[in-house]
Amino acid sequence: MKLKPFYLFTLLFVSVLFIACDKDDDKEISFDKNSVEVIVNVTDTVKVSGGKSPYTAAEGDDSIAEATVSSGKIAIKGLKKGQTTVTVTDADGITGTIAVKVTEDPFEDEKDDATVRFKWDTLLKIEGTDAGTYALSKAANKMVTFTWTSDDEEDAVILTFMDANDKIGDDSETASVRESSLVAGELTVKVDGVSTEYDVLSWRVVLAAPAADGDPDTYWIAFAANGKVGLFVAPLSE
C-alpha cells in the first residue's frame, strides 16, 4: 500500500514534535524537594536533576541562608531565622527555585552537654543521666530505635523511625532531616503503666560534638508527634 505524501509529512511532523518536547523536558531543572526547613547553623542538601551542569546557586537573602553547589547537589545552611529562596541556574540559563525556611533550635539552651536525656510532654529527663535504661540503635534496614525505661518499668519511651538517608552514623558534622507530612515513625509513651501511641510526623538529627576515638557518637534527635515536640539525646550503640 502506498502512503500519500501528506500522510508522510504529518507523521514526520508529529515525530519531530515529540522529539522537541523530550528535549525541552530535558532542559527543565527539577529537585528531589522544592522546599527545605533547617535550623540555624544546620545544613540540608537538595539534589538537582535535568538541565545542564555546571549549576550555580543564588540566595534571595544571603543573611538568612547560604547555598553552595557540589556535583549536582545544593547544600543550604541556615544562618538566621527567616524565609528566603535559592535560585539554581544551569549552564544554559534555565532556572529553578527552592523555598527555604530557617528556624531557631528550640532545644539550644538544653545542649550544654551530651549526657543521656530526653524531653516529651509530661516526661522530662534532662538533668544528666537519669535513672533507667537508655538505648539508641540503628538496624541494617535503616530503622532507628530509641528506648528509655525507668527502673521500676512503670514509665517508658520508645521512638522508631526510618533513617532512609543514613544521617545517623554518617561522618558529616551535622544533618537536618524534615520528613514528609506522612507518618515518619511511631512513638510509644508509657506513664504509670499506661501506654499511649503517637504518630511521628517529622524529625531532625544533629550530631553532638565528635566522640573520642573508640567512643560512640552521640546524637540530639528532635521530633514532632501529634502536635507536640520531643527531644532525646543518646550515644549510638553498635
For residue range 144-153, what is the model confidence (pLDDT) as tens digits?
A: 999 988 888 8
| Closest C-alpha to 186, from 169, 167, 203 | 203
Q: What is the mean pLDDT of residues 97-111?
A: 79
CA distance 163 to 108: 23
CATH class of 30-103: mainly beta
pLDDT digit string, tens, across residues 53-82: 899 999 999 999 999 998 889 999 999 999
CA distance 185 to 183: 6
| Closest C-alpha to 144, from 213, 209, 205 | 205
Q: What pLDDT shows up at residue 13?
A: 46
| pLDDT classification of 22: cutoffs 50, 70, 90 | very low
pTM: 0.55
Q: Using an 8 Å Cβ cutoff, are 166 and 143 in contact?
A: no
Asked if residue 110 has pLDDT above 90, the reply is no
| CA distance readout (Å), 110 to 39, 113, 116, 146, 209 | 15, 8, 12, 19, 14
Delimit the domains of the chain by residue range. 30-103, 108-235
Q: What pLDDT shows up at residue 134?
A: 85
pLDDT digit string, tens, across residues 179-230: 444 578 899 999 889 999 999 888 887 766 556 677 777 888 888 888 788 8
The set of cell numbers assigned to 225 is 508527634
Percent of the chain with pLDDT over 90: 34
CA distance 196 to 158: 11
Q: What pLDDT shows up at residue 228?
A: 84
Q: What pLDDT shows up at residue 164?
A: 80
22 residue type, one letter:
D
The set of cell numbers assigned to 25 is 523536558
